[in-house]
């Protein structure tokens, strides 16, 4: 069971999200299948192809769907037992068009802030501020129906942050945006993350969005956690990742590199990917190649990109539940066992 | 999050009591409704009628002062004001005509627009339950219908009691109960029916047509059923007829010989309210699950 405080107050430093064998059925269809794990970073990406269960997971955490079994908590609060208290702390930007008809942007954001518990005067102030912040200051008295798609996305973000939530769920926030609007939206999310007063959960199928905004990624596939990845650690860690383009006896070179204690992958033709431990210098690789008369046509240093991690997770047809926030080395080893890095 | 800084800042200010948030939806709805001059004109028009009745009561009791040149005329000889007159001359025309029109104007748009624009997810992602949302929408209609039914009705009753004295009040107190209870059962039926239709039919005009039809079609069916089986029980699905029977019971108006029992009418109306409530609770979801 997930431990939560009985008074409904989230504990300081509580995990943003924890899953304990969480299953969700819609009708007879199992959408989320036995999710277990936790995420710890300030900004979390929910990544997966269409139909992977990202939106259902967000909706379940918001209390829209009841888990059929298992449990989950957000900020240390149980999503079923403490749902109402939890929703006080949540900001939610839905994926599709969601607005109140016949009102201006400022009335819309004000209404949502009031329902979140802000007194009318503060709600109006915060509505103006939030709309300025997202870049709709000049359009705040226009009716929502007249907004372009990009403006509607900005207005949705404004209503999600106006009441000062502790955790912000963004469901495909860049959907349908042109490049300038997308860039602006990403910058806003980055600013909110850096401001530090709230966690950000970004659900998207766009790798670039997640990579730019998130510290930790939960990759979903067919309703299961296919992989997790701590991008923050990825960014910080000097992995000594090296990719060699070779001509010659690649297998024997890879074997020799592995004998040095390196993690090695030869799944792509003419390529050897290796993670060098601290004590192994690149010169040693050159020497091994020379001894085996293997030509090194190109040597590139490139850490694991999110795209590669995602591809690896997608190729793993089993869709394993992974423990969140694994150290990079563990992931690398898991990658090797799956036949890729 | 100061405007000039354009930087995000969290909120640590005061938070309202949860019960007080019930008023947010009606307040927002009224803000929109009262932008319409046509609606304001309609509301004023509905209040002219009780004002006219009020003038009538005043003249009735002060005829000699208002018309000093007709000292021989005594209105009480022509018409005695009794409790049932409040049903015939006030609640029936106001409730049936103005109340129905008010529900037709306000009701169908209340939920359908939120459903059409996917606004329910925004409400329910906050500390705001389906029941609170429904209560908020219900109060939008209930308050406006109260303004034109039992509130002026009780004011007129108080005025008549003032002029009629304790004796009149003790003989006709049931009219006050009838005005209040009778108005509320009508308000509940109208509000819940229009909200339920609004939750089903997403287009405002279609919802209005459906609301109208739900009174007319069962009326026709009931008549046909009664004629075919030589009974009166078909009226159970005729909401207007059931309300009439309940009102007659409350205002102590003798029933027609072949009318259904008052208890059956109460049962029918409460069933309608319960079905509407059930339908609303089923329909009010942040997202519709397609199975």
- B78 at interface of A, judged by CB pairs closer than 8 A: no
- B291 at interface of A, judged by CB pairs closer than 8 A: yes
pLDDT of residue B102: 93
Identify which of A162-166, A190-194, A310-314 has the greatest average pLDDT.
Answer: A162-166
Option in A85, A90, A102 nearest B125 (CB) = A90
Would you call A67 helix, strand, or coil by DSSP? coil
* Tokens coding A170: 């963004």
Tell if the CB–CB gap between A102 and B113 is shorter than 8 Å.
Answer: yes
Could you give the percent of chain A with pLDDT greater than 90?
Answer: 39
Q: Is the predicted pLDDT of residue A57 greater than 60, yes or no?
A: yes
- At residue B9 the predicted structure's pLDDT band, cuts being 50, 70 and 90, is confident
Please compute the mean of the pLDDT values over residues A159-168 and round it to a whole number.
94
Strand-pairing partners, residue A78, are A73
Q: Is the predicted pLDDT of residue A335 greater than 50, yes or no?
A: no
The reply to whether B94 falls in a domain is yes
- Inter-chain CB pairs, A–B, below 8 Å: 130
pLDDT of residue A129: 92
pLDDT of residue B37: 92
Q: Model-level pTM greater than 0.90?
A: no
pLDDT of residue A163: 93
The domain segmentation of chain A, as residue ranges, is: 17-89+166-234, 240-300
pLDDT of residue B258: 78
pLDDT of residue A265: 84
Q: Is the predicted pLDDT of residue A216 greater than 80, yes or no?
A: yes
The reply to whether B203 falls in a domain is yes
Q: Which of A257-261, A321-325, B273-277 has the lowest mean pLDDT?
A: A321-325
Tell if the CB–CB gap between A130 and B117 is shorter than 8 Å.
Answer: no
For chain B, what is the domain count? 1
Q: Is the predicted pLDDT of residue A15 greater than 70, yes or no?
A: yes
pLDDT of residue B26: 93
- Those residues whose C-beta lies under 8 Å from the C-beta of residue A59, and which sit 6 or more positions away, are A65, B286, B287
Option in A101, A102, A115 nearest B126 (CB) = A115
DSSP A138: G
- B33 at interface of A, judged by CB pairs closer than 8 A: no
Distance CA A74, CA A14 (A): 8
pLDDT of residue A320: 44
Distance CA A263, CA A245 (A): 16
pLDDT of residue B288: 67
The reply to whether B275 falls in a domain is yes
Q: Which of A43-47, A192-196, B221-225 has the lowest mean pLDDT?
A: A192-196
Q: Which residue has the tokens 């640590």?
A: B12
pLDDT of residue A302: 59
Tell if the CB–CB gap between A87 and B127 is shorter than 8 Å.
Answer: yes
Spell out which residues of chain A touch residue B16, defining contact as CB-CB under 8 Å: 114, 117-119
Nearest CA of chain A to the CA of B23: how many Å?
10
pLDDT of residue B177: 94
Q: Is the predicted pLDDT of residue B32 greater than 90, yes or no?
A: no
- At residue A239 the predicted structure's pLDDT band, cuts being 50, 70 and 90, is low
Closest CA to A61 of A193, A168, A158: A168
Spell out which residues of chain B touch residue A169, defining contact as CB-CB under 8 Å: 125
Q: Is the predicted pLDDT of residue A38 greater than 80, yes or no?
A: yes
Closest CA to A52 of A280, A292, A225, A261: A225
The reply to whether B258 falls in a domain is yes
Q: Name the average pLDDT for chain B.
A: 89
The reply to whether B2 falls in a domain is no
Spell out which residues of chain A touch residue B135, defining contact as CB-CB under 8 Å: none
Tell if the CB–CB gap between B291 and A87 is shorter than 8 Å.
Answer: no
pLDDT of residue B133: 94
pLDDT of residue A331: 37
Tell if the CB–CB gap between A114 and B9 is shorter than 8 Å.
Answer: no
The reply to whether B158 falls in a domain is yes
Tell if the CB–CB gap between A98 and B126 is shorter than 8 Å.
Answer: no
Nearest-CA residue of chain B relative to A83?
Answer: B127
Over residues B171-204, the pLDDT tens digits come to 999 999 999 999 999 999 999 999 999 998 888 8
Tell if the CB–CB gap between A111 and B116 is shorter than 8 Å.
Answer: no
Nearest-CA residue of chain B relative to A29?
Answer: B291
- At residue A7 the predicted structure's pLDDT band, cuts being 50, 70 and 90, is very low
Tell if the CB–CB gap between B117 and A111 is shorter than 8 Å.
Answer: no
Please compute the mean of the pLDDT values over residues B37-58 and round it to a whole number.
93
The reply to whether B10 falls in a domain is no
Over residues A273-285, the pLDDT tens digits come to 888 777 788 888 8
**HEC profile for B62-115?**
CHHHHCCCCCCCCHHHHCCCCHHHHHHHHHHHHHHHHHHHHHHHHHHHHHHHHH
Q: Hey, do A17-89+166-234 and A240-300 end up sharing a CATH topology, with the first three levels equal?
A: no
Nearest CA of chain B to the CA of A192: how many Å?
6
Please compute the mean of the pLDDT values over residues B106-113 and round it to a whole number.
89
User: Of A129, A134, A199, which to mutate for an interface test with B (greatest number of B Cβ within 10 Å)?
Assistant: A129
Spell out which residues of chain A touch residue B285, defining contact as CB-CB under 8 Å: 64
Option in A62, A63, A133 nearest B8 (CB) = A133
Over residues B54-105, the pLDDT tens digits come to 999 999 988 888 888 877 777 777 778 888 888 888 888 888 899 999 999 9
Tell if the CB–CB gap between B8 and A116 is shorter than 8 Å.
Answer: no
Q: Which of A103-107, B76-80, B124-128, B131-135 has the lowest mean pLDDT?
A: B76-80
- At residue A314 the predicted structure's pLDDT band, cuts being 50, 70 and 90, is confident
The reply to whether B269 falls in a domain is yes
The architecture of the domain spanning A240-300 is: 2-Layer Sandwich (3.30)
Residue B279 belongs to what domain range? 30-283
Q: Name the average pLDDT for chain A.
A: 83
Please compute the mean of the pLDDT values over residues B32-46 and round it to a whole number.
92
Q: What is the predicted ipTM?
A: 0.85
Question: How far is residue B226 from each of residues B122, B233, B234, measured CA to CA in Å?
Answer: 48, 7, 5
- Indicate the burial class of A86 (C-beta count within 10 angstroms; 0-12, 13-18, 19 or more): buried
Nearest-CA residue of chain B relative to A166?
Answer: B10
- Indicate the burial class of B113 (C-beta count within 10 angstroms; 0-12, 13-18, 19 or more): buried
Could you give the percent of chain B with pLDDT greater than 90?
Answer: 57
pLDDT of residue A67: 93
pLDDT of residue A264: 84
The CATH homologous superfamily for domain A17-89+166-234 is P-loop containing nucleotide triphosphate hydrolases (3.40.50.300)
- At residue B5 the predicted structure's pLDDT band, cuts being 50, 70 and 90, is low
Over residues B216-268, the pLDDT tens digits come to 898 899 989 988 988 888 889 999 899 999 999 999 888 777 788 999 999 99
- B38 at interface of A, judged by CB pairs closer than 8 A: no
Q: Please answer whether residues B82 and B172 qualify as being in contact, where contact means their C-beta atoms are separated by less than 8 angstroms.
A: yes
Q: Is the predicted pLDDT of residue A341 greater than 80, yes or no?
A: no
């Amino acid at each position: 069971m997930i431990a939560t405080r009985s008074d409904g107050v989230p504990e300081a430093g509580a995990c943003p999200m924890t899953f304990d064998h969480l299953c969700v059925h819609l009708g007879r269809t199992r959408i989320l299948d036995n999710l277990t794990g936790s995420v710890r970073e300030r900004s979390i990406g929910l990544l997966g192809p269409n139909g992977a269960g990202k939106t259902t997971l967000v909706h379940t955490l918001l209390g829209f769907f009841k888990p059929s079994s298992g449990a989950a908590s957000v900020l240390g609060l149980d999503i079923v037992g403490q749902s109402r208290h939890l929703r006080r702390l949540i900001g939610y930007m839905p994926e599709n068009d969601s607005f109140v008809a016949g009102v201006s942007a400022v009335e819309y954001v004000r209404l949502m802030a009031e329902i979140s518990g802000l007194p009318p005067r503060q709600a109006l102030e915060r509505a103006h501020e939030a709309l300025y912040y997202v870049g709709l200051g000049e359009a705040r008295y226009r009716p929502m129906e007249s907004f372009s798609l990009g403006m509607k996305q900005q207005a949705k973000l404004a209503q999600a942050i106006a009441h000062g939530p502790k955790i912000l769920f963004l469901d495909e926030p860049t959907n349908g945006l042109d490049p300038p609007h997308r860039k602006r939206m990403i910058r806003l999310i980055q600013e909110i993350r850096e401001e530090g007063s709230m966690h950000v959960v970004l659900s998207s199928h766009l790798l670039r969005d997640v990579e730019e905004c998130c510290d930790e990624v939960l990759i979903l596939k067919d309703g299961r956690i296919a992989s997790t990845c701590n991008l923050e650690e990825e960014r910080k860690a000097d992995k000594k990742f090296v990719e060699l383009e070779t001509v010659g006896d690649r297998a024997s070179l890879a074997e020799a590199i592995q004998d040095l204690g390196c993690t090695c992958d030869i799944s792509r033709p003419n390529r050897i990917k290796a993670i060098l431990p601290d004590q192994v210098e690149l010169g040693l690789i050159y020497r091994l190649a020379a001894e085996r008369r293997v030509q090194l046509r190109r040597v590139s240093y490139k850490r694991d990109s999110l795209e590669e991690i995602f591809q690896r997770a997608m190729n793993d047809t089993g869709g394993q539940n992974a423990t969140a926030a694994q150290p990079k080395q563990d992931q690398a080893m898991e990658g090797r066992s799956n036949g890729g890095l | 999050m100061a405007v000039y800084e354009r930087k995000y800042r969290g909120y640590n200010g005061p938070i309202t009591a949860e019960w007080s948030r019930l008023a947010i939806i009606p307040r927002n709805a009224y803000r929109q409704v009262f932008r319409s001059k046509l609606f304001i004109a309609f509301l004023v028009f509905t209040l002219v009628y009780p004002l006219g009745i009020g003038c009538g009561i005043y003249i009735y009791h002060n005829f000699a002062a208002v018309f000093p040149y007709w000292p021989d005329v005594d209105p009480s000889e022509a018409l005695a004001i009794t409790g049932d007159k409040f049903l015939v001359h006030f609640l029936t025309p106001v409730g049936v005509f103005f109340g129905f029109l008010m529900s037709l104007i306000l009701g169908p748009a209340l939920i359908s627009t939120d459903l059409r624009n996917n606004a329910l997810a925004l409400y329910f992602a906050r500390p705001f339950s389906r029941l609170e949302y429904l209560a908020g929408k219900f109060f939008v209609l209930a308050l406006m219908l109260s303004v034109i039914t039992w509130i002026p009705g009780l004011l007129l009753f108080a005025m008549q009691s003032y002029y009629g004295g304790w004796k009149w009040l003790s003989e006709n107190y049931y009219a006050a109960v009838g005005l209040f209870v009778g108005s509320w059962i009508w308000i509940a039926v109208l509000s819940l029916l229009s909200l339920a239709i609004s939750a089903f039919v997403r287009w405002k005009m279609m919802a209005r047509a459906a609301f109208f039809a739900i009174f007319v079609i069962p009326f026709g069916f009931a008549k046909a059923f009664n004629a075919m089986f030589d009974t009166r029980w078909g009226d159970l699905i005729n909401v207007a007829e059931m309300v009439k029977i309940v009102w007659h019971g409350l205002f102590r108006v003798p029933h027609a010989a072949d009318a259904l029992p008052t208890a059956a009418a109460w049962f029918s109306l409460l069933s309608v309210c319960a079905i509407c409530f059930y339908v609303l609770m089923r329909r009010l979801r942040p997202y519709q699950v397609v199975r």
